[in-house]
Amino acid sequence: MGIDSLVGGTIWDEYSDKVTDLMNNPQNMGDIKQEEAEAMGAKLIVADFGAESCGDAVRLYWAVDPETDIIKESKFKSFGCGTAIASSDTMAELCKGKTVQEAVKITNIDVELAMRDTPDTPSVPPQKMHCSVMAYDVIKKAAAQYMNVDMESFEEEVIVCECARVSLSTLQEVIRLNDLTTVEQVADYTKAGAFCKSCIKPGGHEEKDIYLVDLLDAHEKEKMIAGSSLGTAAGSNAEFAKMTVVQKLKATEKVIDENIRQMLISDGGDMEILDIKENGENFDIYIRYLGACNGCSSADTGTLFAIENILKEKLDQNIRVLPI
């Protein structure tokens, strides 16, 4: 359970005060014995997870009320670096008082954000971000054991990097929060792309639907759109759901005209809206690419992400863009 090695003492500047304190004074380290769980009227869950990429491992203990599924106590043992200890301790704390079903929704981003001293400053150096991924995975392992289901059944996310088990939403959030611009930076923060490298760009041993270069491209396009349309808005997010279909079409066209179309035209392409349909809580916007965008390699990846994200930001978070 060693502490991360130092280089000239300066690496401490890259850790939040919360992390450095938890490295040396974890609040939830230990175990829960069977008799202790029984005294609480709880079911004992013990789950192990190891990260092959770095050799760290964590064991998670839950005492779960079988009547309510609430986690009454949560403890851990971590075998690895100081960051793994801090991440595991934070993860165990976040689990307390939640139902198992709520706990399984805790992500590695939640763990890292909870360790920050200030909202805008990362809590750990980028190369240590993967420790919070391990904490995220052991929660799913414990929940799967308690609910007697496959761990993979909780995987609602698209996994971009299979080696490091990093999801699409995690990558998008980390890239956005830290304004990452290179594959090397993404690998430092998440370990995605650091191993077999198939998720970086087409041509690796495993074909992917989404690559890291697509996500970086989408982020750059979003920044370009945001910079060129500062202060513009097509209407209140809360109002979009109340609009008629015709009003939704007009609002969507307005956002596209003011924020997206010029970007497409500059690349020799364009798009048109075919239909908007409500699908449960989602608003599915069907589009057709025109010109150079039709058949472009990024039309279903980077360009699509940029279009969808700006429509979500300007109109409604439940919008999905579906090219036809």
Q: Which amino acid is at 113?
A: L
CA gap 122, 16 in Å, rounded: 8
The DSSP-derived string for 159-207 is EEETTTTEEHHHHHHHHHHHT--SHHHHHHHH-TTSSS-TTTSTTSSS-
| 218's tokens | 């989408």
For 103, the 3-state DSSP assignment is helix
> Which residue type, as a one-letter code, is found at position 32?
I
Q: Which of 54, 81, 161, 293 is catalytic?
A: 54
- Tell me the two tokens of residue 190: 């998440």
Q: Which of 81, 95, 131, 163 is catalytic?
A: 131
Taking alpha carbons only, the member of 275, 277, 274, 285 closest to residue 310 is 285
Does residue 95 carry a catalytic annotation? no
Nearest by Cα to 291 from 316, 318, 272: 272
- Based on the residue annotation, tell me whether 293 is a catalytic residue of this protein: no
Q: How far apart are CA 284 and CA 263, in angstroms?
A: 22
- Active-site residue list: 54, 131
